[in-house]
Amino acid sequence: MRHLREDLDNNAESLMKNVVLYHCWSWI
């Protein structure tokens, strides 16, 4: 379960980074 939770946290983190990058690119 701990591993699964870590994977979910990592996915959420990368997802947020992708969203931020997407917003930055759309602003350019």
pLDDT digits (tens, 9 = 90+) for 1-28: 577 788 878 888 999 999 999 888 887 6
Total structural domains in the chain? Answer: 1
pLDDT of residue 19: 93
Distance between CA 28 and CA 26 in Å, rounded? Answer: 6
Residue numbers of the domain that contains 5: 1-28
- One DSSP character per residue, 2-20 reads HHHHHHHHHHHHHHHHHHH
